Amino acid sequence: MTHIDAGAELDPVHPVALPRSPVAGLSPAEVAERVARGQVNDVPVRSSRSLGEIVRANVLTRFNAIIGVLWLIMLCVAPIQDSLFGFVILANTGIGIVQEWRAKQTLDSLAVIGEARPTVRRGGRATEVATHEIVLDDLIEIGPGDKIVVDGVCAEAEGLEIDESLLTGEADPVVKRPGDPVLSGSFVVAGGGAFTATKVGREAYAAQLAEEASRFTLAHSELRTGISTILKYVTWMMVPAAIGLVVTQLVVKNNGFKDAVARTVGGIVPMVPEGLVLLTSVAFAIGVIRLGRKQCLVQELPAIEGLARVDTVCLDKTGTLTEGGMDVTELRTLDGADETYVRKVLGSLGESDPCPNASLQAIIAAYPDSEEWRCVESLPFSSARKYSGAAFSEGDGETSTWLLGAPDVLLAPEDPALAETERLNQQGLRVLLLARATRDLDAAEPARNATPTALVVLEQRLRPDAADTLRYFAEQDVRAKVISGDNAVSVGAVAAKLGLDGTAADARHLPGDRAGMAQALDEGTVFGRVTPRQKREMVGALQSHGHTVAMTGDGVNDVLALKDADIGVAMGSGSEATRAVAQIVLMNNSFAGLPAVVAEGRRVIGNITRVATLFLVKTVYSVLLAVLVVCWQVEYPFLPRHLTLLSTLTIGVPAFFLALAPNKERARPHFVRRVMRYAIPGGAVAGAATFVTYLVARHYYTGPGGLDAETSAATLTLFLVSLWILAIIARPYTWWRVTLVAAMGVAFLLVLAVPALQDFFALQLVGVTMPWTAVGIAVVAAAALEFLWKWAGRRFSDQSVPTSRPRSRPWR
């Protein structure tokens, strides 16, 4: 707390060995010498996977290996049209690589914009440099909100307090004095100073942790974990079904070798839902690109998924609902204090803080320093204390000590000045109290018995887009909770101006236990006088009641809550500490960007849930058909070309468009259970209907060429049933969804009508009776699907996949 002369000698008996760096910092020659020796902060910048890693991740997969082997076999034994599935896999994999590469470029470009640029003192001048340009023994200046980027030793301190909670778990700030060690990964919460870098690069304490935590990753996601679980079960089902199919087609039926191999491969290929993994990666990557265009930096890819599950968003008032700047609108002296003298005190207080916050900056603008007083001691503002202070040596030799902060913290509960403060707060104004202290600043309670002198009234600037954003959250069933360190009445008035209804509560009177706090949070909307530790406890309390919580903030007092929230959202202009722990950074500092972030998360996970059903229906009916073929000892009804055509028209093309469509519905947990409860009955109906048509056609068609006719009839039934499943998945209908389904139907009719396409895909409907029989079986199957879809929706009370009755208007 004591004002320190920058040139003062350090304590020679301090246990930490101090590097002998001059206060002026390193000279250019010394910097060049250290760079030549490799003593630079060469920790790799946070980035996505390299191009080689992206290619390997998209190409070298288990299912690509299976499909690749089968493709090579088909190229050797069958016409090129039976090998189309291999070219489709190549195209899909190429799309996945391109999309992730674009996402990487978007991420890296935004990361450069948001990268911290510490201030180093070199040759007596303060200069901003990139983090990787710091060298050993650099003198780095720090202030509130700055993150410590390398290990070092404190060289200068003016009320310097550092929070090391991200490293040690201890939430209480640590006061630092010259000679004390500072660790990378911690951040400044109050005061300012400078430290000398003693460990840089990979030697720094938090370097490996920071590098690993900020990687662009697809891991640790319920969606991807669920897909991996599904693929594991698919593999277990696929192996015995494929073995039985091979034995049946090659040994039992005595078909020609090439035809038997083609039909065997035709049975195995559709069991693999290879496009599901690819489409998930593409959807995530496109989400990164879309958010990047809106100046939203996604630091962890699963954050996009987490946003879809958010049902509660906690908002910090300052910097979120209000803009950072404030204006002094009035000065009210108390107990006959001299206004001219009070103005001089306020001007000196502003000058005493080397790193003023927004409130103090407004005071500095309104009351310039007279330069007649000298600061002899200072106490920087802290979110935990709610006030700052300074002691001055006035021109006549007298010393006075002053405090500036929250009236309800500095004053006794019965003080009459609080009533006036309350009236001003109800108007949405922010009020600070200037009080003369009777105790030293380094005393245990410097605010005790302080004499109130004046009220400083400040007007906060509301963000013009805040009201629309809060309205969006209300419409999307996301509850907004305003959590602020300011006075509860003032915060409540600001929230009311923005149209946010609800009661305002003082956090100092909240229950201390988690259950009681959670109950109060469920009932209330606005909370004031919240300490940084309470913000963290509030997030935990909401999570204990089953809520998925997003936390927004820009100041150091928000760091702990951001870290514990399911999704942390920081402002780009906020402190480096908040940007470091947040999963999403709004680079344009616009609160209006949050709806786009939430909507993108919902779009990704909601649409993947939709299209996963399409892919897994194909897997289920493919396995079922293989089992039925083995049991009935008949030829497999399809060649690979048939299933390539069906998969393209009823799954591949529609899934791509559905995966990128708008989707505002909040995601629900238990992805695997929700998808399989629709995929299993849908696939079972499709497989059974197709096999019935095939058996009927085998009985109906006798003689040469019968197998092609049987295959064509079975293909017609399977297409119609799959198209009906697509029509169900596409609900609620919009003009483009109806057009999409209709276009797939028209494309199939085109194949049946054009002779060249008939020959290419080996499809030709013979006669009239059997094709109409195939259509009739498909109609019965469609009715069964409608019944099963409705039953599944009622049975499991889950609306995440649309039932036959849409919940919104069928046309838009």
Kindly name the residue from 163, 316, 486, 564 that is annotated as catalytic.
316
* 154: alpha, beta or left? (left if phi > 0; alpha if psi -120 to 50): beta
Q: Tokens for 695, please give them.
A: 């058996």
**763 SS3 class:** coil
Residue 638 near residue 329, CB atoms below 8 Å: no
Of the candidates 591, 570, 566, the one whose C-alpha atom is nearest the C-alpha of residue 580 is 570
Burial of 143 (0-12, 13-18, 19+ CB in 10 A): buried
Of the candidates 612, 810, 628, 606, the one whose C-alpha atom is nearest the C-alpha of residue 718 is 628
Residue 574 near residue 590, CB atoms below 8 Å: no
Burial call 100-127: b when 16+ CB within 10 Å, e when fewer: bbebbebbeebbeebeeebebbbeeeee
Q: Maximum Cα–Cα distance for the chain, whole Å?
A: 120
In SS3 terms, 369-418 reads as: CCCCCEEEEEECCCCCCCEEEEEEECCCCCEEEEEEECHHHHCCCCCCHH
Instruction: Count CA atoms closer than 13 A to 509's CA, side-chain side.
Output: 8
Q: Where is 57: in which H helix or E strand?
A: helix 51-59
Is 316 among the catalytic positions? Answer: yes
**727 SS3 class:** helix
Of the candidates 654, 662, 667, the one whose C-alpha atom is nearest the C-alpha of residue 606 is 667
Tell whether the torsion through CA atoms of 606, 610, 615 and 617 is positive or negative: positive
**278 SS3 class:** helix
Burial of 702 (0-12, 13-18, 19+ CB in 10 A): exposed
Residues in the chain: 812
Of the candidates 30, 158, 173, the one whose C-alpha atom is nearest the C-alpha of residue 141 is 158
Q: What is the DSSP letter of 334?
A: -
Q: Tokens for 776, please give them.
A: 């009739």
Of the candidates 729, 747, 730, 746, the one whose C-alpha atom is nearest the C-alpha of residue 738 is 730
* 265: alpha, beta or left? (left if phi > 0; alpha if psi -120 to 50): alpha
Adjacent-strand bridge partners of 135 = 40
Q: Which amino acid is at 368?
A: P
Beta strands 312-315; 174-175: pairing state: unpaired
Active site amino acids:
316
